[in-house]
């Protein structure tokens, strides 16, 4: 069966088309600058990159072009060859504890949850509708980033605020990156042939979160009511004292929306380093002696270590720590810095293994380490495809 995974953005969407008999990617790509000048698509097909600039007035036209190109490239012979499409949805609230078949009712409920993910849910609905217009008979599945975290206990997901805020408005921790954390959990459980592990999963990219997992269930996670909470990230602040918001509003004479935009888009690594949100830019500057970039990286590492230590206690110890996502998979420097600070927990790094682990499933802890440490490349697209196949 051929299953497509779709990950939508406000002016773009990524896709991967899988042959699920072998779980192989037939073609993948991205449509960018939809509804803007300079639209384009980039496909990865048979080891080559195909790129074209073109006018993309809306998502429907982008989907139509995608299907046309799939036929032209003989990936499919007709639209009927695509058996199902899975869509990543950032927030499913409390209702959606698992992935689900998309109906008109489900689509409306995703839209109704837009206050919990205003930058994501409305766009994801728009893209689903676009795919429905081009492929009206193809079953589609919503795969929620929040569903994996629905096993958290009240003491973990409730905030110490008036309880009626939760009852009336759904104010609670929802988490994010659940599809990635679930993939990491399943992969490392299979690798170690053990479904009763205490796992600390570190999804460290431009967006970042850490998840405490026990017996294949989420116990706690660092992101909160929105993806702004938790770790310091590329451009997001992570956890801060909420009193800073009205204080800066008064000092800078700006609105709450402007403060939140700064906390989401101009903080984190970018804000502290005053140079870049990309670790690949910052590390060379640190090696040249740049103090502001070093300050940013030290804070970044400290945040990761603090959450790992917290979840070590939460889980009553840890069997394995996993690093994944852009920085977690590809940056030995950051992994080493984190592990150096975890020696008190019995964590020791194998420097050679860590240096050579670039985007491959690799054990990077030394034989003396009491906690196994692995680099585990994530594959949210495959997770979406698996869920879609199961449901349809």
pLDDT computed for residue 288 by the predictor: 94
Lowest pLDDT segment from 12-16, 108-112, 117-121, 358-362: 117-121
- Predicted local distance difference test score (pLDDT) of residue 10: 67
What's 270's DSSP letter? H
33 vs 219 pLDDT, higher one: 219
Is residue 145 annotated as part of the catalytic site, yes or no? yes
pLDDT at 267 over 80: yes
Q: Which domains are delineated in the chain?
A: 2-144 (3.30.420.40), 193-375 (3.30.420.40)
Confidence of residue 8 (pLDDT cuts 50, 70, 90): confident
Report whether pLDDT(5) > 70. Answer: yes
Question: Is 210 within 8 Å of 230 (Cβ atoms)?
Answer: yes
pLDDT at 36: 84
353 against 32, higher pLDDT:
353
pLDDT of residue 9: 73
121 vs 75, residue with greater confidence: 75
Q: pLDDT tens digits for 295-351?
A: 999 999 999 999 999 999 999 999 999 999 999 999 999 999 999 999 999 999 999
Q: In what order do the strands lie in the sheet with 362-363?
A: 217-221, 208-214, 198-204, 320-324, 372-375, 362-363
Catalytic residue chosen out of the listed positions 58, 104, 145, 215? 145
* The pLDDT of residue 58: 86
Q: What pLDDT does 118 receive?
A: 75
Q: Where are the alpha helices (DSSP H) in the chain?
A: 59-72, 104-112, 121-134, 154-157, 163-169, 178-192, 244-252, 256-265, 268-273, 279-287, 291-314, 325-330, 332-340, 351-356, 380-391
Q: Is the pLDDT of residue 101 over 90?
A: yes
- Confidence band, pLDDT 50/70/90 cuts, at residue 179: very high
Give φ, ψ of 203 to 5 degrees.
Answer: -90, 100
Report the predicted TM-score, pTM, of the whole model to 2 decimal places. 0.91
CA dist 344 and 338 (Å) reads 12
Strand partners of residue 321: 200, 373
Q: 211-251: per-residue pLDDT in tens?
A: 999 999 999 999 999 889 999 999 999 999 999 999 999 99
pLDDT digits (tens, 9 = 90+) for 138-167: 999 999 999 999 999 999 999 999 999 999
Distance between CA atoms of 71 and 82, rounded to whole angstroms?
11
Q: Collapsing DSSP states into helix, strand and coil, what is residue 32?
A: strand
Alpha carbons 205 and 278: distance in angstroms, whole number = 9
Contacts (Cβ under 8 Å, ≥6 apart) of 166 = 158, 159, 172
What tokens does 171 get?
């104010």
Looking at every residue in the chain, the average pLDDT score rounds to 94
């Amino acid at each position: 069966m051929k299953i497509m995974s779709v990950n939508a953005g406000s002016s773009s969407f990524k896709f991967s088309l899988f042959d699920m008999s072998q779980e192989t990617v037939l073609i993948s790509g991205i449509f960018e600058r939809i509804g803007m000048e300079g639209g384009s698509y980039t496909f990865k097909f048979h080891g080559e990159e195909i790129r074209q600039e073109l006018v993309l007035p809306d998502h429907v036209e982008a989907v139509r072009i995608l299907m046309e190109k799939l036929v032209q490239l003989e990936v499919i012979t007709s639209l009927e060859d695509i058996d199902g499409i899975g869509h990543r949805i950032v927030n499913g609230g409390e209702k959606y504890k698992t992935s689900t078949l998309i109906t008109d009712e489900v689509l409306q409920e995703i839209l109704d949850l837009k206050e919990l993910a205003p930058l994501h849910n409305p766009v994801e609905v728009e893209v689903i509708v676009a795919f429905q217009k081009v492929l009206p008979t193809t079953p589609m599945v919503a795969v929620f980033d929040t569903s994996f975290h629905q096993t958290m206990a009240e003491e973990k997901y409730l905030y110490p605020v008036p309880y009626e805020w939760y009852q009336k408005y759904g104010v609670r921790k929802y988490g994010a990156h659940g599809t990635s954390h679930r993939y990491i959990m399943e992969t490392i459980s299979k690798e170690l042939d053990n479904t009763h592990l205490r796992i600390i999963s570190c999804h460290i990219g431009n967006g970042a979160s850490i998840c405490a997992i026990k017996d294949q269930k989420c116990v706690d996670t660092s992101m909160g009511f929105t993806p702004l909470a938790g770790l310091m990230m590329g451009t997001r602040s992570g956890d801060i004292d909420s009193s800073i918001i009205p204080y800066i509003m008064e000092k800078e004479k700006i609105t709450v929306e402007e403060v939140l935009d700064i906390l989401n888009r101009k903080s984190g690594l970018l804000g502290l380093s005053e140079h870049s949100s990309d670790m690949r830019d910052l590390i060379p500057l640190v090696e040249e002696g740049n103090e502001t970039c070093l300050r940013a990286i030290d804070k970044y590492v400290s945040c990761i270590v603090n959450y790992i230590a917290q979840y070590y206690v939460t889980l009553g110890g840890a069997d394995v720590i996993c690093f994944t996502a852009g920085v977690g998979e590809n940056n030995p420097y950051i992994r080493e810095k984190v592990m150096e600070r975890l020696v008190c927990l019995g964590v020791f790094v194998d420097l050679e293994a860590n240096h050579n682990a670039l985007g491959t499933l690799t054990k990077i802890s030394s034989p003396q380490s009491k906690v196994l440490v692995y680099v585990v490349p994530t594959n949210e697209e495959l997770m979406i495809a698996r869920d879609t196949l199961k449901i349809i």
